[in-house]
Structure 1
Amino acid sequence: MARVEIIPELYNTTLWEFKAEGNANIILSYVGENIRFSATVLRLRKETEFDTTINSQYFTNSYINYAMKPLLGSKYVGESILLEVQPEFLKALSKAILKMRSNKRTQKDIDPNQHYAMLIPDYTKFSNNNPTLSIEFKPKWAFLPSSPFIENSVKLQSCHFCMHKYLKRSSANEITRYCPLDLFSLEDKRVRKAVEALLACPESYLKLFIQGMQIEIGKENWQSWLYEFFEVDYSESNDEEHKNTHVIDMLIALLIQAIMEERDLFRSLKMLQKTLDELDIEGINKLIIFHRPKLSEPSLEEWKLIVDEYMKRIAINNTKNDNARQFVITNMDKMDNKQILQRIYEYLMSATLKDCSIIFSFQKSNGTNTQDVTQQKPHISPIFQNNEGLQQLSLSETLSPTIYKYPYNDKLYVYKVNVIDLDPKPLAKLSYYQELDKKIVRNYLKCGATNKCSE
C-alpha cells in the first residue's frame, strides 16, 4: 500500500523552492529548517490533456512500486510518500515559483486538482555539506529496431534516438553526436564518446548539479563550479583552457567509472527495452488494427499480473536469442486477446523505460580504500524509512587509462545511483507514438541522413 500522509507544517509556500521541471512534472526543493524534511523534494503533476486517473500521483506511485520496481530492483528505485494537498496550496505554489521557471515551460502550470503530491529524497544531495556533484541523464532509446513491418529499411541502419534528433533540428551541424548504443555498449571508448556528446549538447538529456543546484552547462565559466568538488588547485595557472579541459576530463572519467561499476543496471535496461518492445510501434499498431482488442487502462492489480506474465516469459525464453522474437512476429495472427493485450501493455512499459532518467551523485569519500564505505554516512531524509546504499570508486582504477587525457590521483569517491521518471504511459499515447514514428522516418530520409548505428 502507498504511504499517505497529511503534514500541516509543509503547506507553506515559503518552504519550497523551484528546482527543475520536465514536460509532466515540477520538482520543488524543501528549504525550511526542519531537519526531518532535509534533502527532500516535492514532485507535482502539471496540467495534462490525458486521463488524470492514471496520471495521478497516487497511481504513479503505485505503478512504480508494482511494475517498475520488480523490473529494475529496489536498489535503483527509491522510496516515496504521498502528501495530501489542497487546490489553494497548489495555486499559491504555482504563483510563487512562476518567475523561476523557463518561459518555454510556463504554458503548463501545476495541476490544482491533484489530490496528492509526491515527497521523495533529493538524489542530488547527501546528509553532510561536503561538495556534491550530481549528473542526471536520459539514456533514451537504446533498442535498435529491426521490425519487418517497416516499409523503409532505414531503421535497420539507425537507432530510434539517432533518427529522432533529425526531427528536432533543421541543420545537421546542430545535431548531437550522442547515440545511446555507444552508452549501452559498455566499451570504454564508446561510453566516453557518448558522455562527451551529452556534455557538448546536453539539451534536456543531461543535467549537472553542484550542491543540489543545477548548473547550466555551456554557460560562461560553468567549469569553475567543478574546481572545488575535484579539489584541484589552479592558483598558479593562468591557462583557462587547460584548467577547464582538465576538470571536464575528470568529470567524464568519474561518470564513466560509475557507469562501468553499474554495468548490470545498463544491461538490465537494455534487455528490458528490447524485450518489452519486441514488435516496435508498427507491430503494435497492426495488432490494434487487425484484431481490434478492447482496450482499457490496466488497474494496479492488472499491472502486477502483466509484469508477472512478462517475467515468466523471459524466464522461459533465452533473451539473448532473437528466435523467440521472430516466433512472436511470425505467429501474430494466432495470438488470442489476452496475448495481444499483454504485448500492448508491455510496449507502454517499454515507453516508460525509454524515457526514464539515471542520476549519479558523488562526494569525496571518508574511507581509505575502495572496500571501506562504512565511514560515509548513508544519506536519507529522516522522514523516509529506508537508507540509501553508497558505493565507492577511485579514478586511479579506470579500466582503460589510455582514453583519458590526464593522470589522476588516488582520491576515493562515494556515489549513489537511482532511476527516476518512471511514470506510466497512457493508452492515448499509442497513436502519438505511431505518428511520431512516421514523422521521424520521413524527416530522417528528408535530411538525407546516412549514419549507421551498431550494437
Structure 2
Amino acid sequence: MARVETIPELYNTTLWKFKAEGNANITLSYVGENARFSATVLRLRKDNQLDTIIDPQYFTYSYANFIMKPLIGDKYVGESILLEVQPEFLKALSKSVLKIRSNKRTQKDIDHNQKYAILTPDHTVFPSNISPTLSVELKPKWAFLPSSPFIENFVKFQSCRFCMHKYLKRGPTDDVTRYCPLDLFSLEDKRIRKAIEALIDCPGSNLKLFIQGLQIEIGKENWLTSLCEFFEIGYPELDDKKQHYVIDMLIVLLIQVIMKEQYLFRRLKILQKTLDELDIEGINKLLITLRPKLSEPLLEEWKLIVDEYMKRTTANNSNNENVLEFMSTMENKQIHQRIYEYLMSATLKDCSIIFSFRKSDIRDFAEQKSHSSQIFQNKERLQQISLSETQSPISDSLNKYPYDNYLDKPYVYKVNVIDLDPKPLAKLPYYQELDAKIVENYLKCGATNNKCSE
C-alpha cells in the first residue's frame, strides 16, 4: 500500500531549498530545524506534455516501489512518502526557486496541478552530524553491447551503446571520454579503476560528487581541497603528487564499495540486457510491421509483466540466436510483453546509484535508528569499509606516499538506487530516432575499431 500523508508543518516555502533539477523533476532539500524531517528531500514533478496518466506522481511512486524495487532488491531502493500538496503551495515554491534554476531548465515549471509530492531521504547526507558526508552519484547507463540484426553491418560494431553514443554531439574541440560502463560492471579491480579514472577526467552527467549534500564540480578550483577536508588530510598546498594521492583515495574507496556491492551491479547488468534482448531496432520492427494496439499499463498490469519476465528468464528461454525467426512467430501477448520490457530496461539504463560515506563512529551500529530520518520507518543499511582493505596491486600507488595512517581509517557507507521513473510509450519514437543517429554518427566518425568487452 502507498503511504500517503498530509503534513501541515512542511507547507512553508522557507523550509525548502533548491537542490537539483532534471528534465522531469525538481528536488528540494529540507532546511528547517525540525529533527523529524532532517535529511529529507521533496521531489516535485515538472509539466510534461507526454503524460497520459491521470495521477503521474502516484503512479511514479507506485512504479518505483512495487515494480522496480522487487527487481533490483528492497535494500537498494529507499523508503518514500506521498505528501499531499495544494496548488497554492506549489506556485509559491515555483516562485521561490525560479532565480536559482538554470535558464536552460526554466521552460518547464513545477506542475501546479499535481496532487502529491514525493518525500524521500536525502541520500547525499546522513541525518546525524557525527562527521561530514561524501556522496558519489554514478549513472551506469548504456551498459550493453549492440547485437541487433536489424542494423546494417551490425557485425562490425565492437563498442557498447554508451561508447557509440559519446561520439554523437562532438564539436571540433570536444574530448571523447574514455569511460565505458562495461568496465564498471566487470567487477575487476583494474577495469573498475580505469572506468573511475575516465569519469574523473570527463565526468559529464555520469559522475557527481557531493560534500554534505552540496555538489562539488569535479576538476574545478578547490574540488580537491574539499576532498582533503573529508579525508582529514591537512595539505596547505596541493602539488601534483599530493593531488594524485587524494584522487587515489577517492578511487580506492569507490573500488572497495563497488566490489562489496557486487550483487547490485550484477543485477543491474542482467536486467538491462535481458529486458532489452530485441534492442530498439527489434522493438521498432514490431511496432511498424505488426502495429500492436498498445496502452499504458496500469500498476496491476505491470506486476503481471514482471511475473512473465521472471518466468521467461528463470527458464532461460532466450531467443537471441534466432531472433528473426522468433519474432516472426510471436503472438500479440508476446509482442506487448517485449515492448513493455523494453520500457523497463529504459528506466534501468537511466537510473543512478548513490554511495554515501562518512568516517565511522562507535555509535554507528549501536544506535542505527539515528541514521534514518525520523519520519521514515525503515532503518538505513550501513556497511563499514577502510581503504586498507584493498589487496590488489592498485593500492601500490597509495603506498608510495608516507601517509599510511590515513588508509586504516574506517568509513561507513550506504547505497541507494534512484531515478526509477516509468518511461511512457510515447518515448519509443525518440529512442528509435536517437539510436539511428548514434549508429549513423558512429560510422561517420570511423570509430568502429574501438573495442568493448564484457
Quickly name the TM-score band, shorter chain normalised.
over 0.9
Q: Please tell me the residue identity of whatever aligns with 1:391.
A: Q
Which residue does 1:431 correspond to in 2? Answer: 429
Shift of 1:391: 0.8
Q: Structure 1 residue 278 and structure 2 residue 277: aligned?
A: yes
Distance in 1 (alpha carbons) for counterparts of 2:397 and 2:174: 26
- The answer as to 2:164 corresponding to 1:163 is yes
Match of 1:406 among 398, 408, 413: 398
TM-score (norm 2): 0.94
Q: Residue 175 of structure 1 corresponds to which residue in structure 2?
A: 176
Q: 2: CA distance between counterparts of 1:138 and 1:61?
A: 20
Structure 2 CA distance for partners of 1:210 and 1:55, relative to 1, 3 Å = farther
Match of 2:340, as an amino acid?
Y
Runs of 4+ displaced beyond 6 Å:
none
Q: Which residue of 1 aligns with 2:347?
A: 352
CA drift of 1:65 comes to 1.6
- Contact preservation (8 Å) 2:132, 2:358: yes
When structure 1 is superposed on structure 2, of 374-383 and 416-425 the one drifting more is: 374-383
Question: How far did residue 324 of structure 1 move?
Answer: 3.9
2:189–2:394 contact (8 Å) kept in structure 1: no
Q: 2:307 aligned with 1:343, yes or no?
A: no
- 5+ residue gaps, structure 1: none
CA distance in 2, matches of 1:261, 1:82: 32
* Pairwise CA RMSD: 1.8
| One-letter code aligned to 2:187 | L
Aligned to 2:311: 312
Q: How far has the Cα of 1:389 moved from its partner? A: 0.6
CA contact (8 A) 2:357 2:413 kept: yes
What do residues 48-87 of structure 1 show as CA deviations (whole Å, max 9, x unaligned)? Answer: 1211517711000001122101100101011110111112
Q: Give 3-state SS (helix, strand or coil) of 1:167's partner.
A: coil
* TM superposition shift of 1:103: 2.2
Instruction: Give the Cα–Cα distance (whole angstroms) in 2 for the partners of residues 258 and 55 of structure 1.
Output: 37
2:370, 2:328 → 1: CA distance? 53
Match of 2:443 among 439, 442, 445: 445
1:193 matches 2:185: no
Aligned-pair CA distance for 1:328? 4.7
1:363 to 2:355 alignment: no
Matched, 1:394 2:386: yes
1:206 aligned partner: 207
Shift of residue 241, structure 1, vs aligned partner: 2.6
Residue 374 of structure 2: aligned partner: 382
Query: 1:212-223 counterparts in 2 under 5 A?
Result: 212-223=213-224
Partner of 2:12: 12
Distance in 1, Cα, partners of 2:141 & 2:292: 29
CA deviation digits over 1:334-372, x for unaligned, max 9? 11111110000000000000000000000111259xxx9
Indicate if the aligned counterparts of 1:55 and 1:424 stay in contact, CA closer than 8 A: no
SS at match of 1:168: coil
Distance 2:156 2:51 in 1: 32
> Compared with structure 1, are the counterparts of its residues 274 and 104 closer, same or farther at alpha carbon in structure 2 (3 Å cutoff)?
same
* Distance in 2, Cα, partners of 1:33 & 1:46: 27
CA distance in 1, matches of 2:146, 2:394: 33
8 Å Cα contact 1:257-1:398 kept in structure 2:
yes
Structure 1 residue identity aligned to 2:124: T
Superposition deviation, residue 404 in structure 1: 5.0
Name the residue aligned to 1:91: 91
One-letter code of the match for 2:361? N
Task: Report the AA paired with residue 380 of structure 1.
Answer: S
**1:148 — aligned with what?**
149
Among all aligned residue pairs of Structure 1 and Structure 2, give the percentage whose two residues are the same amino acid: 74
Question: Does 1:111 find its partner at 2:106?
Answer: no
Q: Distance in 1 between matches of 2:142 and 2:293?
A: 28
Structure 2 counterpart of 1:105, one-letter code: R
Contact 1:189/1:403, CA 8 A, preserved across alignment: no
Give the superposition deviation at 1:293.
Answer: 0.9
Q: Which amino acid aligns with 1:402?
A: I
CA distance in 2, matches of 1:136, 1:404: 26
Aligned to 1:415: 413
Task: Decide whether the 8 Å contact of 2:319 with 2:326 is kept in 1.
Answer: no
SS of residue in 2 equivalent to 1:44: strand
In the superposition, the TM-score normalised over structure 1's length comes to: 0.94
Taking a change above 3 Å as real, the CA distance of residues 394 and 83 of structure 1, as seen in their structure-2 partners, is: same
Q: Which amino acid aligns with 2:197?
A: E
> Retained in 2: the 8 A contact 1:366–1:376?
no
Aligned length: 446
CA offset at residue 373 of structure 1? 4.2
Q: Is the 8 A contact 2:136 2:208 kept in 1?
A: yes
CA contact (8 A) 2:146 2:154 kept: no
Deviations 1:6-35 (A, max 9, x none): 111111110000111111111100001111
User: What letter corresponds to residue 417 of structure 1 in structure 2?
Assistant: V
Report the 3-state secondary structure (helix = DSSP H, G, I; strand = E; otherwise coil) of the residue aligned with 1:405.
helix
2:307 counterpart letter in structure 1: D
| 1:159/1:127 CA distance change after superposition, 3 Å | same
Counterpart residue type for residue 275 of structure 2: L
Structure 2 Cα separation of the partners of residues 313 and 185 of structure 1: 25
Q: Assess if the C-alpha contact under 8 Å between 1:348 and 1:426 holds in 2.
A: yes
Residues 238-286 of structure 1: CA distance to partner in whole angstroms, max 9, x if unpaired?
4433332221111111011100100110000000000000000001111
Tell me if structure 1 keeps the 8 A contact 2:354–2:416: yes
Give the SS at the match of 1:432.
Answer: helix
Q: Which amino acid aligns with 1:350?
A: S
1:62 — aligned with what?
Answer: 62
Q: How far 1:151 moved relative to its partner?
A: 1.2
